[in-house]
Amino acid sequence: MGKLFGTDGVRGVANEELTPELAFEIGRAGAYVLARERKGRVLVGKDTRISGDMLEAALTAGICSMGLDVESVGIIPTPAVAYLTRKYGAVAGVVISASHNPGEYNGIKFFSGDGLKLPDATENEIEDLMNNKGEIKERPIKNLIGRVYINENAADDYKEFLKSTIETDLSGIKVAMDCGHGALYEIGPQLIEEMGGEVFPINTNPDGMNINDACGSTKPQLVQRLVLEKEADLGIAFDGDADRIIAVDEKGEIIDGDHILAICSRFLKEKGKLEKDTVVGTVMTNMGLDEFLGNNGMDIVKTAVGDRYILEEMIRKGYSLGGEQSGHIIFLEHNTTGDGLATALQLIQVIKETGQRASELNGIMKNYPQVLVNARVENSYKTKYMEIPEIKEEILKLESHFDGEGRVLIRPSGTEPLVRVMIEGKDQDMISKKAHELAAFIESVIGPK
């Protein structure tokens, strides 16, 4: 069967790669592994994709076949499933979503009873069981077979949770919102209105295939225009499962994840709520955030790219704030995953309590220019480039050239025969030239012959 779980669950084209047969087996094996300690219910939520119903039915059958009940919470964001799994005391939670991918794709992602993404070891155990089906010998019968329950209060419970995460209402605040025809298409606008704000929502008519289609967080131009048109205080755009956000200030300028971390870290530090005065970022975090934090009495810890690695570091070291440039922001006081709507509320709270406009807050951190160039290489070499003496020497020489005024980051692509060369520094033209030169050099040494 091969490797199933990627960095964020199982994904593929629905009914071609991610088939109902596969969903059934995932549900069966996942239930077996996650429920050995105790029986109970598994929460299942989904986004607006047309294939969600098909995959939910198959997945649910697999879970019920192992004697676990399923609690279906309908169309709801990924972070809601993480939160509600804990709130309801469920054995596990499952989200059927392919996040920012096009409508023909779908995915299956598990959360433990603690609302945490499964560690690699647990995912590997589920895969091993699916590759050796004979090992699952349990076949509950009679009244031991699982049942399905429909929870019609899940969205309201999630909204009440979100309201509790800030200490102010939204009166006087105008919000432009691009829901991306995704999981927040109803909850997002409802919440802003219920909290006293004025909201201008777009892309709230999912048809099963238009999720993320030239809209949402991957196409922020729409919400940039909407902010200016409606003279809104803040713009927010979500991806399909709403675990991340791209924000826009009142001047139409992007507030990316690094800037959100700068804004929220300073605010939380002043309130004494930033644990250890430290933010967790990734190796792709802009150096401008390092500089801002250092100048304001805060530190940064960096992990590999991926919100699961950020969360692991936060839990391990007791940090309270972390995130990625792409807009996955984790406020561990509130939730165990990135939460686009919760992040939007945190930004609005800063705007209201400080009296500053979003553009003023956006300006507290200055980005270092970044250039990313791909070097096409022989696949067998893409993780071994630092073992090639001349490449290692060239990278070290370039790092020495920057001497703290920039940095060089080289990492292999997860899916293609590419090495990605990212250079960051103060001079855009110079770093662009150096990045292309280094990529060309790497290709000359280990490129396809």
Catalytic residues, by residue number, are 99
C-alpha 395/C-alpha 382 separation (Å) is 15
Residues 236, 177: Cα–Cα separation, whole Å: 5
Task: Report d(CA 68, CA 26) in Å as an integer.
Answer: 14
- 130 and 62 Cβ atoms separated by less than 8 Å: no
User: For residue 85, how many other CB atoms are within 10 A of its CB?
Assistant: 29
Q: Find where tokens 């699982």 sit.
A: 146
Which residue in this structure is represented by tokens 């992602």? 109
CA angle 323, 325, 331 (to 5 degrees): 20
> In terms of residues, how long is the chain?
449
Residue from 427, 445, 327, 293 nearest 377 by CA: 445
> Which residue type, as a one-letter code, is found at position 383?
T
Residue 334, SS3 per DSSP: coil
Structure-token match 């192992």, residue found: 66
> Are residues 25 and 62 in contact, defined by beta-carbon separation less than 8 angstroms?
yes
Report the alpha-carbon distance of residue 154 to residue 152 in Å, rounded. 6
3-state secondary structure 64-116: HCCCCEEEEEEECCHHHHHHHHHHCCCCEEEEECCCCCCCCEEEEEEEECCCC
